[in-house]
Amino acid sequence: MQVRTGIDIVAVSKISRLKDSLANIFHPSELADERPEHLAGIFAAKEAFFKALKRSPEFLAVEVSKVNGKPAISYAGGEKISSIDVSISHEQEYAIASVVMLLD
């Protein structure tokens, strides 16, 4: 088993620049709350996830949701991931996320 980690920080203003591409990055469920700081946190979580996986981002292969009030990640890829833990935070103009996963 391998432990992998990833972290990413995103400027909230980046989400405004991506307005025309949101459907290529976010699932409809993730777009239910369109506040830029919320979307920046999700974007950072997706980037952190793929950094931990050591792969190029495939944004729609990952869906970020809340389970019992805590961020969670669902992944539609082929890797055997035993466990994923994600943390997201945002403050003023930045959002940050970290991901820790166990690979079989």
Give me the active site residues, please. Answer: 51, 90
Question: Strand 94-103 to strand 81-91: parallel, antiparallel, or no bridges (unpaired)?
Answer: antiparallel
Q: Can you tell me the distance from the alpha carbon of 91 to that of 19, in angstroms, rounded to the nearest whole number?
A: 21
**Contact (Cβ atoms closer than 8 angstroms) between residue 59 and residue 27:** no
